[in-house]
Chains A and B, each alone.
Chain A
Amino acid sequence: MKFLMAVRGFFLLLVLLTLTARNAAASDQIDFNRDVRPILSDKCFFCHGPDDKQRESNFRLDQAVQDRTKIADLLRRVTSTNPDEQMPPPKSGKHLAVAEISTLQRWIEQGAKWATHWAYVAPLKHDLPKVADTSWPANWIDRFVLARLERDGVKPAPDADRITLIRRLSFDLRGLPPSLQEVESTDLEQFVDQFLASDAFGERMAVWWLDLVRYADTVGYHGDQEHHISPYRDWVIDAFIDNLPFDQFTQAQLAGDLLPESSTDDKIASGYNRLLQTSHEGGVQAKEYLAMYAADRVRNLSGVWFGGTVGCAQCHNHKFDPYTAKDFYSLAAFFADLDEAAHLKKGSDASPTVRAPELRVLTKRERVRAEKMSAEERAAFEKSARLTMISSAIEPREMRILPRGNWLDDSGPIVTPAVPEFLGRLDTGDRRANRLDLARWLTDSKNGVGLLTARIMVNRFWALMFGEGLCRSLEDFGAQGQPPDHSELLDRLTHEFVDSGWNVRHILKLIAMSRTYRQASSNSEFGGRNSEIRSSVPHSEFRIPKSLRQSRFRLPAEFIRDNALAISGLLVHEVGGPSVRPYQPAGYYKYLNFPKRDYVADNDQRAVSPRSWRPERTAVSASGILQVPQFSEAGLRRRQGLEAVASRRVRALAAAIPASDVQGVRCPASRGMHGPATTLEHAAGRAGVAQRPHIRRSRASLRRPHPERGWRHRRIPHRLRLPSRHLANPRRH
């Protein structure tokens, strides 16, 4: 131990010396939000933060910093080694590292300036920074990125090769691999436009959005009864295909039923409010479940549109952010006009569930189709109209603050709909605010928090294109989240989004056309492939943030499945329609299905969008084992890397063992083997499986002939397995 201490001491000294020299160039100026708030939030706010119920010694940090004597005391306490004085106290389990103390000290030396948390300050429209290398930027995004890299003395990664880039664009914007013809394309912009205009783009975006809003085709609690909601899913797909401005997209979902002259599509969209997990178990207490549903809605609203964890304020004021319990229940009150008690009274186990209000509709796409039909055909077609759950305002239920979140406790004060107090208030006069007021406030960049909402969303768009957001905690812009890697760029993009009329496609195109996006992906934490970065920057702190370079990551489960079908030529390009039940191994659902019935899979090879999303464990893959996120807050952020699709071991089995149902493997295999292919690699290339000629070192493995049969496996569902591995395990580079 002594030895270790000595080593540690020496090491620290060394580090400090090195750093002093190294950091001369770096900014000495402490940025409260970047440097200090994360420390205070994690180590101090629990007792000295916004929650007045938990506050110790009546010491609230944001107020204390106004007072010099209290500040001096703070420094004394955090540096004290006396367990009775030391802060944070040893029993808290929290500990300030030397470096953190030093940051606090410098902050105090520089005047202990407190600043509003960055996510609650409207983004600034920063000027474009100057860069030394003016030839690199392709558009203004690159100016921000390059200026940062130049400041840190690193170079951007070289451009990815064309095929990698086209595959990347294809997966990022449509969730599908490019065709062989597309890979030949040389006009990048035309290519991006073509992808953005495709139906597959709408489906790809829907996969993302439906995760966020916890879309599912079954109820979620206690069984897997289906419910009527698939037209909502079609509406989302079409909204992205039509490039519906995001502010309208928001308003239609939260309050489509309340819009003036609410259209059928608006009503379908209002199904958003009905997406939550519901129980149809006998013996549920209406009051309890209404409380759970209300909380669920606030959690989702907060996670998706606030980028916040308002859910933490269900039982107490938020420990780290300024959300109060009153804010939580006031937000819940917006949804008090939705009647969820009806289905509870019925206590029905029926599948599909009966959950009024429901509307029988033809989706927009179906109506367009119907218009071209003869009267007879049309009448027949209209019979296929689907039911969908919608919102329909009724007399609002009473909403009380539930002490400690306890639904049995009626002693809390009654609240009416209101937005979190620290963010402002809705001006509705004497009229009770409703969901439409909320949706408008969320998307009003002048009188509401539109710019904050927009920032949360552009950050998510960025993450779709880089695997990381500019603020890495996509779902938490609060004090415990991460400050953005590049706040100026994030802010400027936010303005671009709002100024463009909340134009989603515009932002995605802007990102896609940037040089930043085009960079080759690196393959390790430390700069990886870009050896220049690696050699000049030995320490991870100076490496390029993941959000400013490209990365490799596994594709979501849906893409893997669609990829297999697309390569095999089996993918059916037809958008929307009733949900279908994907293939599953026999008995896969037997613990869950209630009331007991057999699971019958549909034979469906459309792209993934019309598949059935199940809160339980969606099996979307051809082999029936790949999984998408379970129905929960987890959907707010999909995992990447190896965790992308649930249980690694089971998945490896599904991938490693050719399941007889994987038709996707046979088709490219036979296509690949047709004609005079001499190597598996050629075959794979022809089959459209691997459009990556740069896998040099893979060739040795690919080229290996079958030990007994050489290259001549003609009738081979199982033999030609290498391409199937690419099928089952594609990465986006």
Chain B
Amino acid sequence: MSNLNAITNQIHRRTFLNATGVSLGSAALSALMARDAQAMDEYRPLPHHRPRVKRVIYLYMSGGPSHLETFDEKPVLAKMHGEAMPESFTKGQPIAQLQGQKLTCQGPLIGFRKYGESGQVISDFLPWHGKMADDLCIIRSMVTEQINHDPAHTFMNTGTAINGRPSMGSWINYGLGSEADDLPGFVVLTSEGGRNPQPISSRMWSAGFLPSQFQGVPFESTGDPVHYVGNPAGVSMAQQRRLVDAIRKLDEHRAVGWDSVPTGHGNGASGRDGVPTYNDPEVAARIAAYELAFKMQSSVPGLMDLSGETQGTLDMYGAKPGDGSFASNCLLARRMAERGVRFIQLYHRGWDHHGDLVRYMNICCGLTDQPAWALLTDLKQRGMLDETLIIWGGEFGRTPMFQGKGGPGRDHHIKAFSMWMAGGGVRSGLTYGATDEFGYNSVENVVHVRDLHATILHQLGIDHERFSVKYQGLDARLTGVEKAQVLHDVLA
């Protein structure tokens, strides 16, 4: 029926003023109408195809982890250690803090080994990742376009460095809606630990030009998870309920018109006393917002209360309730997944290793390695991994060249870095793409950020090319106007 509505709308929209001049032959008309019908299929609601997963958990390693010390082993770079970096690579290329400095090769600062049946190669900083190697699809050939943190985050999250565009979590919730009726569809948690945690702006989970209800809601991982979620002292839930009811009643009056004109006409307006009649969608939405807020008052504390988790589970993650750690956030992510949150993004800030890379990798990996494994394993044990897409990665990688802000480290690098995906529909145990022998350029099966976005949308049942919103006269898409491709090779 909605299809028919869409058609009548469409006909109304333009035909109304213009149709008097229709003088096409009736045969031509029916042929054209058939085409109209075909085009109508384009309007059919999401998903475009059968979704492979229900949700995304995005482990965002903020600051830019080194691919050369995680998933991309480079023996040649080891041999070149201390030598000048060949200028053929670096000439005319974007560079961040190493501007104007002598560029020398920095060999890998850690060993690598093969894991599992798949023989995936993973560094010794990430032994827990080794345990789940057969579940991961490691992409070694990522590229991005922005070399400084803020624009690079913006690019990774919104597909462009221009501010004001929606983030992927907002796009996805806008397209698919939330499965949870008492929690937001897009939740952000952050933790920190490592070198000089760089700031992260709420633009990264902004709804941009999409309706603001689709923006990510940051939950605090310590203290009150959401501001004002608790009642003030002396106010009970029953009182709160009465308050929300009173507001609803006031809003309902507005919804039917404040002057009490009998409403026999509007959408679903009955006009009878005592029956809520929402002929104003804005007010209906507002009433819903209050209801959700009220529900969140109990659902959020319930979500954050880890007392029902067994000690075994807590130990598995390495989580101490209320510590705000990445481990606790991973456990919360699982709980949100269970409750239907569509897009869960966990930022860990501390991966900006311009110097003392070994020390800080130990800290960052120490804080995130086991929890990431625990999350994947926990989901798997609960039969949820197959309906979840997990993504791990930062906003860029790090240079094969040495930087020494207090011990060897590496600068920002955008021509090559590693990420991994796991979960529903992902070819596990696969290493995809490759960089050159220095780890400077992605050279084989290069994966652009846009391709990653297209693939995420695809797994959720969305065709990125048909998923657009009119903005500034353009059909704006998460993947933009440049070509983006779904990485079918990494999908099972």
Contacts and interface: CB of A to CB of B under 8 A. Distances in A.
Partners in one complex: yes
Interface of A: 4-5, 7-9, 11-12, 15-16, 19-20, 23-24, 26, 28, 35, 41-42, 79, 81, 86, 93, 95, 97-103, 105-106, 109, 221-224, 277, 279, 281-285, 288, 292, 309, 312, 319-320, 408, 475-476, 478-481, 523-524, 526, 528-529, 531, 534-535, 539-542, 585-588, 591-594, 616-617, 623-625, 630-634, 639, 641-643, 645-660, 694-698, 700-702, 704, 707, 718, 721-722, 725, 729
A338 B234 CA distance: 57
A97 B14 contact: yes
Contact of B232 (A5, A279, A657, A702): A657
Given A659-B228, A660-B232, A93 B466 contact: yes
Given A19-B19, A694-B259, A700-B249, 10 more contacts: A79-B28, A98-B29, A475-B472, A539-B16, A642-B285, A649-B184, A656-B247, A697-B253, A698-B253, A721-B243
B177 interface: no
Contacts of A541: 12-13, 16-17
B33 interface: yes
Nearest to B146: A288
A481 B473 contact: yes
Given A283-B99, A648-B289, A222 B148 contact: yes
A623 B247 CA distance: 18
Interface string B474-492: 1100000000000000000
A174 to B, nearest CB: 23
15 contacts: A7-B4, A283-B99, A283-B148, A285-B95, A285-B147, A292-B151, A319-B474, A475-B472, A480-B473, A642-B211, A642-B213, A652-B289, A652-B290, A657-B229, A718-B232
B18 A652 contact: no
Contact of B228 (A625, A630, A695): A625
B313 interface: no
A529 B256 CA distance: 10
B227 A654 contact: yes
B298 interface: no
B250 interface: yes
Given A15-B15, A634-B164, A646-B215, A102 B21 contact: yes
A484 to B, nearest CB: 16
Interface string B1-22: 0011001101111111111111
A283 B12 contact: no
A630 B244 CA distance: 29
A444 to B, nearest CB: 28
Interface in B91-140: 92-97, 99
A698 B472 contact: no
Category for how many chain B residues contact A: 35 or more
Contacts of A283: 96-97, 99, 147-148, 411-412
B94 A97 contact: no
Contacts of A475: 472
Contacts of A523: 254, 257-258, 279-280
B213 A98 contact: no
A12 B164 contact: no
A653 B230 CA distance: 10
A695 B227 contact: no
Given A283-B148, A656-B244, A524 B227 contact: no
Interface stretch (B77-85, B199-207, B383-391, B426-434): B199-207
A594 B217 contact: no
Interface string B246-283: 11011001100111110001100000000000011010
Interface in B206-244: 206, 208-209, 211-213, 215, 217-218, 220, 223, 226-232, 234-235, 239-240, 242-244
A694 B17 CA distance: 38
Contact of A480 (B30, B250, B472): B472
Contacts of A97: 10-11, 14-15, 36, 39
A531 B280 CA distance: 15
Given A93-B466, A98-B29, A701-B249, A695 B200 contact: no
A664 to B, nearest CB: 15
Contact of A285 (B94, B235, B250): B94
B19 A701 contact: no
Contacts of B475: 93
Contacts of A639: 212
B76 interface: no
Given A93-B465, A284-B148, A591-B190, A653 B296 contact: yes
Q: Which A-B residue pairs are the 5 nearest by beta carbons?
A: A480-B473, A632-B164, A283-B97, A283-B96, A99-B15
B195 to A, nearest CB: 13
B458 interface: no
Contact of B96 (A26, A285, A623): A285
Contact of B293 (A41, A79, A594, A652): A652
Contact of A696 (B18, B260, B297): B260
B76 to A, nearest CB: 27
B100 to A, nearest CB: 11
B202 to A, nearest CB: 5
B4 A721 contact: no
A653 B36 contact: no
Contacts of B161: 292
B227 A652 contact: no
B290 A659 contact: no
Contact of A95 (B39, B94, B206, B235): B39
A11 B226 CA distance: 50
A534 B240 CA distance: 39
B221 to A, nearest CB: 10
B286 interface: yes
B176 interface: no
B94 A288 contact: yes
Interface string B146-169: 011111000000000111100000
Contacts of A222: 148-150, 198-199, 201
B199 A657 contact: no
B464 to A, nearest CB: 12
A185 to B, nearest CB: 22
B44 interface: no
Contacts of A106: 18, 21
Contacts of A650: 217, 226-227
B35 to A, nearest CB: 6
A539 B12 contact: yes
A312 B472 contact: yes
A344 to B, nearest CB: 11
A19 B16 contact: yes
A16 B212 contact: no
A28 B30 CA distance: 24
A159 to B, nearest CB: 13
Given A222-B149, A283-B148, A697-B260, A19 B24 contact: no
A355 B352 CA distance: 26
B251 to A, nearest CB: 9
Contacts of A277: 163
Given A320-B473, A539-B16, A721-B243, A98 B33 contact: yes
B181 to A, nearest CB: 12
B469 interface: no
Contact of A643 (B31, B95, B212): B212
Contact of B200 (A12, A319, A591): A591
B149 A408 contact: no
B97 A11 contact: no
Interface string B333-359: 000000000000001010000000000
Nearest to B255: A523
B266 A524 contact: yes
Contacts of B246: 701, 704, 721-722, 725
Nearest to B475: A93
B174 interface: no
A593 B286 CA distance: 32
Interface in B31-88: 31-37, 39, 42
A95 B223 CA distance: 53
